[in-house]
Amino acid sequence: MISPETLRGFQLFAGQSNYMLEEMAILASEVELEAGEWLFHEEEIASYLYVIAEGAISLTLNLYLNGSRPHVEVTSPLGAREAVGWSAVVKPHIYTFGARAEENSRLIALTAEPLRELLDDNPGFGYYLLKNLAEVIGDRLTGKCVQLLSLVLDSEGVPIVSERMD
């Protein structure tokens, strides 16, 4: 079991009471990944919310450019203290990105369904977790938009056009 004090060290859990940290700690376990190992894949059921204790995790997205086979696009690695897998808490509970270890990593995993039940039963504290997750989601959305635009716009902001062969 992970201690409540360990959870308290993560920004994601800011604003939580001792009771909530104790309850979340019961749902938590440790996961270790070797470099290159997948934590989860895009479009899988989101069974866990993770925070990175050590190491680096990159988010991946399958892109289908001009109907071609998927091209896996990787973001900058997320590091210690960052959240991964927010889809475990937000409907439809399907991971929108994949996640792969860039280096040997250790994460704390919270089981999604009992975590959602705990937050439903304690809406005041659910608010704090979702408020912190909203910051994560907003930052990731902004970063992904910039990254996707770089794939379709040249350095002067002109759309890159490629002919599609049917």
Tokens of 1: 């079991």
Residue 131 sits at the vertex; the CA angle it makes with 31 and 40, to the nearest 5 degrees, is 30
pLDDT in the model for residue 143: 61
Joined together, the tokens standing for residue 43 give 């479009």
pLDDT tens for the chain, residues 1 to 166: 799 999 999 999 988 999 999 999 999 999 999 999 999 999 999 999 999 999 999 998 877 666 666 666 667 789 999 999 999 999 999 998 899 999 999 999 999 999 999 999 999 999 999 999 998 888 767 665 555 556 565 566 665 655 443 3
Token pair, residue 67, equals 């109907």
Distance CA 40, CA 19 (A): 30
Q: Which CATH code fits 4-152?
A: 2.60.120.10
Residues 6+ apart with CB under 8 A from 13: 7, 21, 24, 129, 132
Distance CA 9, CA 13 (A): 8
Angle at 100 between CA 98 and CA 101, to 5 degrees: 160
Handedness of CA 115, 119, 121, 125 (dihedral sign): positive
